[in-house]
Amino acid sequence: MSVQGTDKGKNRAQAESVATTSDISTLKRHKSNGDFSSRVMDFVQERQAVDAIAASVGRQKLNADSVGRGNANEFEKGSLVLLATQNLLTHATSAFGTSKLAPRFIGPHTVLERHGNAYTLDLPSNMRFHPAFFVGYS
């Protein structure tokens, strides 16, 4: 038999410690389950991103192979070609000083040599350009 009020403190402290440890273990379990599910979701999202990048790279390769460098025009030595003025300075293409009235192509010029995808052209000396031009992308 216990005296009233003497064991209450011990029982309450024991009950609180048991409740606290059970609450902590329950919280840890719920938190760990939450961490696991969030890690799974993170892994799935990362895997989907990697797969999407791989699919995109595959599509880009197919596109580059169909319209890339392998489809460049080839010219024989001695053939006549037109030179696009799109990336040339206006002093070589137009006497007007404006690109609005300049021709889109100048020439014809004779192909003197081929160096891979570059060609040496017979240009007039007043153009003041290096005679080798890369032929590739359209």
For position 132, what pLDDT does the model report? 94
pLDDT of 50 > 80? The answer is yes
Of 9, 38, 67, which one is at a domain's C-terminal end?
Answer: 67
Q: Based on the structure, what is the number of domains in the chain?
A: 2
Cα–Cα distance, 30 to 119 (Å, whole number): 71
Q: Give percent of the chain above pLDDT 90.
A: 36
What confidence tens digit (pLDDT) does each residue in 13-24 have?
555 555 555 555
Same domain, 44 and 103: no
For residue 34, give the 3-state DSSP assignment: helix
Same domain, 41 and 84: no
For residue 73, being part of any structural domain is answered with no
What confidence tens digit (pLDDT) does each residue in 111-127 have?
999 998 899 999 998 88
pLDDT of 6 > 70? The answer is no
pTM of the model as a whole: 0.48
Tokens (6 digits) for 82: 């037109």
Structural domain range at position 44 = 1-67
Of 34, 67, 100, which one is at a domain's C-terminal end?
Answer: 67
For residue 47, being part of any structural domain is answered with yes
pLDDT of 67 > 70? The answer is yes
Same domain, 51 and 4: yes
Within 1-138, where are the H helices?
A: 8-67, 90-93
Same domain, 57 and 116: no
Mean pLDDT taken over the chain: 79
CB within 8 Å of 84: residues ≥ 6 apart: 104, 105
